[in-house]
Amino acid sequence: MTSPIESGSVNTAIADGIATLSFFHPKGNSLPGALLSRLAEEVTGLGKHPDVLVIVLRSEGNGPFCAGASFQELQAISTIAQGKQFFSGFAKLIIAMTRCPKFIIARVHGKAVGGGVGVCAAADYVYAVPQASVKLSELAVGIGPFVVGPVIERKVGLAAFSSLAVNATEWRSAEWAQAHGLFAELRESVEELDEAVAELAGRLASSNPDAMARMKRIFWAGTDNWETLLAERAEMSGTLVLSEFARKAIAGR
C-alpha cells in the first residue's frame, strides 16, 4: 500500500511475517509533518497486525537515508503552537517505534541527519553501509536536538550524544556510529546490506513473538514518561524555531 504525501510517500508491504515500511521524499528523504504522522500510524498499526512478526524500516533512492526535518515546513512555522505541532511529529514516531511490540530493523543505505539519527536510534537493530555518516545539525540552525535527544542518548550514551549535539556541523562516520552503538552492523555494499536485513528479518519471523515482545519491553524500560517529556521538548524546539537566529539560519539553507 502506497500513500502519496506532499510529493513524498509511505509504502507498506507484508510477506512471510515481515512488514517492510519504506518512505520517500524528493528532498533527501526529509520528513515533513504529514509523512511523520503517516509513519507513526503505520508503525502503530503494524505493531497490532496479526500477520506481522518483524518490521523492516527503510527509505528509498540512492541518496540519504533521511535528511531530517523539512526546512520548507520549518520556514512556514509562525506560532509556537505550530512549531510544537511540527516537532511533535518526531516525538510521535519515536514513541510509536519504541512502544511497538515487534522488533524494528532499520536499513540505513545513506547519510542520516537530525531527526534521521533519531529514527535510527529508535530502531531495535540497525544495519548500515560505510557511507552512512551521521550528524545532528540542529544547533547550527538555531534550535537543538531536544526531541530526538532522549532516544539518541539512551542508545549511544550521554558523552557521544553530547559530542554530536555540540559539534553540529561535523559528520561522524558509520564506524563511529557502530562503535557507539547507534549501528549494530555494517555491510560493505547495498546488496550485502539487503542480504543481511533479509536474513535477520527471516530468522526473527521464525522466532517466538511473545519472547520478542517481552525483550522489547525490557529494551525500552524506563521510558514511560516520554509522552510528556517529548511533548515538552517539542515545545522547546517550537519556541526556538521562531527566534531571529533560527529564522536567518534556516533561510540560509
With a pLDDT cut of 70, the percent of the chain lying above it is 97
Q: Mean of the pLDDT values across residues 201-223? A: 98
When computed from its CA atoms, the radius of gyration of the chain, rounded to whole angstroms, is 17
CB 128 within 8 A of CB 172: no
Greater pLDDT, 73 or 93: 93
How confident is residue 1, by pLDDT bands cut at 50, 70 and 90? Answer: low
pLDDT at 250: 87
How confident is residue 203, by pLDDT bands cut at 50, 70 and 90? Answer: very high
How confident is residue 231, by pLDDT bands cut at 50, 70 and 90? Answer: very high
The average confidence (pLDDT) of the chain is 95
Q: What are phi and psi of 28, to 5 degrees?
A: 65, 30
CA-to-CA separations, 84 to 24, 33, 110, 136, 212, in angstroms, rounded: 24, 11, 28, 19, 34
pLDDT at 79: 93
pLDDT at 71: 85
pLDDT at 165: 97
Q: Where are the beta strands (DSSP E) in the chain?
A: 2-5, 8-15, 18-24, 54-59, 103-108, 112-113, 125-128, 134-135, 185-186
Distance separating alpha carbons of residues 81 and 249, to the nearest angstrom: 21
CB 12 within 8 A of CB 1: yes
Q: What's the full length of the chain, in residues?
A: 253
Asked if residue 149 has pLDDT above 60, the reply is yes
pLDDT at 72: 86
pLDDT at 132: 98
Cell digits of residue 136: 545532528
Q: Mean of the pLDDT values across residues 37-41? A: 97
The dotted CATH code for 2-205 is 3.90.226.10
Q: Any idea where the domains of the chain sit in the sequence?
A: 2-205
pLDDT at 70: 87
pLDDT at 251: 83
Distance separating alpha carbons of residues 77 and 63, to the nearest angstrom: 27
pLDDT at 175: 98
Distance separating the N- and C-terminal Cα atoms of the chain: 34
Q: Is 26 exposed, middle or buried (0-12, 13-18, 19+ CB in 10 A)?
A: exposed
Cell digits of residue 226: 516520554
Q: What are phi and psi of 82, to 5 degrees?
A: -65, -40
Greater pLDDT, 40 or 251: 40
Asked if residue 212 has pLDDT above 90, the reply is yes
How confident is residue 3, by pLDDT bands cut at 50, 70 and 90? Answer: low
Distance separating alpha carbons of residues 157 and 252, to the nearest angstrom: 32
Distance separating alpha carbons of residues 106 and 129, to the nearest angstrom: 12
Cell digits of residue 191: 546488496
Cell digits of residue 86: 511540527
pLDDT at 195: 98
According to DSSP, residue 136 is labeled: -
pLDDT at 15: 98
Asked if residue 2 has pLDDT above 80, the reply is no
